[in-house]
Every structure is written in structure tokens, then in C-alpha cells.
Structure 1
Amino acid sequence: MSELYSSMLTRPSTSADGPRLRAMAPALGAEITGLELGTSVTPAAITLVLDALHRYGVIVVRDQHLTPAEQLAFMEKLGPVKKSAYSRANAFSVPGQPDMMVISNIVENGRNIGLMDAGAMWHADGTHMAHPDMYTALYALEVPYRDGKALGDTLFTSVAEAFDALPDALRSRIAGRKAVHSFTHHLEKKRRQGDLRRPPLTDAQKAEYPDVEHPIVAVHPVTGRKALFVTEGHTARIVGLSPEESDALLEELWAHIRRPEFIYRHSWKVGDLLIWDNRATQHLAIFDYGDLPRRMHRVETLGPVPV
């Protein structure tokens, strides 16, 4: 971790009798305990959460007891909530909350109650949009267990730390370049890998999600840190390179992003509200639980156009 952000990890953030913040891994990740976001969403609590997000990239607020309305109200304090048109179209929304998506492998009355294949490749949420997601909050209602061990972990990597650690030659090769992000490409790649477990896009949905271009290196809109902004899941190609050159350079960048020293692995507990900064991190879901039931509620906020 860079010296500035390493020093932040050791700085106390709360008083001994209030919410407590604990770093979870060297590059990113922190745990907040002693905070109930359904009943104590004070300005101080919001400041604590945002400061922790910007320092650590991903935080888990433990032992929450949130209704869908409370989770949504909390996220509205972090930014404009994303309108989940894709969730609505596929009936993956929480009843009464059209902008909250169910992430689940549960089948009821012959249909999937939620999105079953979310996170199968390294990605940041919404990079296929002109205004990609800023923050995502995923709330754990059912966590699968086998032999007393929680399954379905989520891995996170710090793309800010990854940029800081780029070799000079690789940094020079990507300077000023842009890449194409594509939802259609994302779903086709999942299909080829045998990971697609959702309905195909309709023509209307394809028109709603046109391909977009974003800089390969983006500046965080709050912290000003630079981060790599190409993902295994949604980045189709690098503008101005041949397909062969583009594929080779993307694979090199993705391998760098996946280096172990940048990663935090989250083991879920019921009541976890996991919040991450999509401009500083990428994530990957681990599908090791088969048909054991898993149910989570997701809300996202929109961010500015990457620059």
C-alpha cells in the first residue's frame, strides 16, 4: 500500500465508546461495528461511512437489521440511486422497491427470484454506462454454509493500488488511451464461459445499453487518486489498437489487477451490509455453494463520467 494510505490505516477513526473501524487487509477493506444504519443514520454516521469508503475501498457494516426501505434510504444519503431498469424488466426487484435488486440462486414457483450469476468475472459495477456506478451496497439476508463454513465469498481488488504499482513501461503504454465497455460483450463472454444464468437481452435492452468509451486510467472524483478502469467483465477492447494488441494488453492489465497483494476476500455473515467504491475497486463472486440458498439485496448509486 502507498505510504499515505498506509498511514490512514493506523489512524483511529472513532472514540472507544462509539462505532469502531478495523482494517481487514493491507491494500483495502475495513469493518465497522457498533453502528445501526436502520435507526442511527446521522450526518456523523454518513461521514464515517464515506470517509471509510474513500480510505479503504470496501467496508462491511456488521450486524444490520435493515428493511428494504431503510437500506434504500441510507443509500440515498450517499448519492443518487441508480434506476434499475434491467432488474425491473426481469422481475428481479425487491417487492415494492423497483430500484433494489435481489441477488439470489433461489427458485420459487418455477422462477428465479433474483439475479443468479452476478459477479462471475472481475468487474466494477456499471462501467458499461456513461455514468458508471459510484457505490454499491449488498445486504446479506441468507448466507450458504457447509460444514460450519460460510460459502459464496466475494473478492475485492484495489485498482488504485494496482495503478500505483504499475511498471513504468506499462504505464506509458496506456497513457491517454481509452477502452470500450459493453454490456452485450459482457453477457456474450459469460455465455461462452458457461456462466450465463439470466435471460438474453431484448432488442430494447440492447438499445438502452450502447457501448461506451472510458479512459483506461481514471481519476477518482473524490480522492483524486488514479486507478485502472478496465475490467475482465465489461471491457471489450482498447481504442486504436488491433484486436491482437488490444487483447494482449488487456490480459496484461487484468493479470496485474488480480495480484494477491491488492486483494481482500470477504466471508459473509447474515446482517452484513457490504459497501464498495466502484471507482477504486473491482470484485469477483465465488460460486462454490451450488443449490444452497443465498439471498442478498443490492442498491447502487450513480457517479460522474470517468475522466
Structure 2
Amino acid sequence: GAMGNSEATWHTDTWFYERPPAGAILRAVAVPPSGGDTYFLSTYIAYDTLPAPLKNAVDGRQIFFQNVYDKTGKLRLGKSMPKSQDFREWSGIVHPLVRTHGETGRKALYLGGTTEGAWIVGMSRDESDALLAELWDHTTNTKHIFVQQWDEGDIMMWDNRCTMHRRDSFDPASIRIMHRTTTSGERPV
């Protein structure tokens, strides 16, 4: 597929936008004979199961996501090469590290899609990197995962505000065609 294996790591769609989509709909048009499955986890559960010291460490914090380079290291369309080596000085967006869902009112951990180019505002880089590594480990090392094993014609819809997802790799000689629609979203609060 056109995206290669760039979605093979956990992420929330377009976390680096000011208003990330609230939801997504994905339809399988062509699927490989094996691989290409999509895994989902709940960021509600990630927040709810944080040990008290971690919950205290994240509540009220904000996270900065640079939006100059994508996860594969490619310059994003319309962006220019930054002058500074410190990504915290680049173009980006600040969101709450714990977001409140606009409809349910529940809190969810909001990690985006990578630790590269992410920084917890107000912390040193070392402190931020250590806390983010702990949060990512807590969030992604869970038994609460749903796996969508795609068949042609399958349609999935998810709430991008309280889930993360990733995709398995698949044989590059195979074809995987998916049609995606995203819904408008709100600024995370």
C-alpha cells in the first residue's frame, strides 16, 4: 500500500493537528492473505489504570507535538527544514496530556503517535522522555486489545479521542487497499 509500514506503531490519527478527527471509518477494499491486521486499545483504560503517582504526574500537564516531520522522518507537506536542532522550537501543537472526551466527559491519556518530537511542557527533556517512556509502556503493554482481522468488505469505525491503533506489517508484494473517512473533531481539552 501507499503507506507502507508507516502505521505499524501505536498512534492516534493526526495527533499533531489543532483539531484531530473525532472518529474514523475504514473499509477494506483489498486485503493481503496475511498481515495488515489492525489493533486497537483504549486510552480510557490507559488513564484509569495509571498508578496514583503516574496519574498525579500527568494531571494538568500539556504535551507538545512537533508537526514538521512525520514518523518516518520525512518533511511534511508545506513545512520547511527547521533552523534549530531543538524540536521544541519547531512548528507544532500543544494538547493536554490527559484529554477529556467532549461527549462522555471521561478522561483519556493522549500520547499522540510517537515519543520523537514529543515533549511534556515545563519538564526538562530527560524528565519528559522518562515519563513519556513510562506512559507509553503502561498504555501499550495491555491485555485489553481488540484485533481486526480484515476481510474484503469489512468496515470499522472508531472514536479517535479515546483509542490508539496500529497495523501489522504485511508482504510488500501483496496489495492492501483501504478507504478511510474521518470526521471533524474538536480541540482537545
Asked if TM exceeds 0.5, the reply is: yes
Residue type of the alignment partner of 2:12? A
CA contact (8 A) 1:231 1:254 kept: no
Q: What is the correspondence of 1:97-116 to structure 2 with a 5 Å cutoff?
A: 105=1, 114-116=2-4
Shift of 1:118: 4.3
Map residues 1-307 of structure 1 onto 2, 5 A cutoff.
105=1, 114-145=2-33, 150-185=34-69, 187=70, 189-191=71-73, 200-202=75-77, 204-205=78-79, 210-233=91-114, 236-307=118-189
- RCO higher in 1 or 2 (8 Å CA, sep ≥ 6)? 2
Over the aligned positions, Cα root-mean-square deviation in angstroms equals: 2.0
* Max Rg structure: 1
3-state DSSP of counterpart to 1:275: strand
**Paired letter, 1:265:** V
Structure with the higher fraction of residues in helix conformation:
1
Instruction: Provide the C-alpha distance between the structure 1 equivalents of 2:167 and 2:67, rounded to a whole number of angstroms.
Output: 18
Q: Taking structure 2 as the reference length, what is the TM-score of the superposition?
A: 0.87
Residue equivalent to 2:85: none
Residues 134-160 of structure 1, C-alpha deviation per residue, up to 9 Å, x if partnerless? 111111000100xxxx32111111000
Q: Matched residues, percent identical?
A: 36
Aligned-residue offset at 1:206: 5.3
TM-score (norm 1): 0.55
Inter-partner Cα distance in structure 2 for 1:172 and 1:128: 24
- Structure 1 Cα separation of the partners of residues 75 and 5 of structure 2: 13
Are residues 296 and 250 of structure 1, via their aligned partners in 2, closer, same or farther at CA, if it must alter by over 3 Å? same
How many aligned positions are there? 180
Gaps of 5+ in 1: 1-104, 106-113, 192-198
The residue type paired with residue 126 of structure 1 is T
Query: Which residue of structure 2 lines up, in the alignment, with residue 10 of structure 1?
Result: none
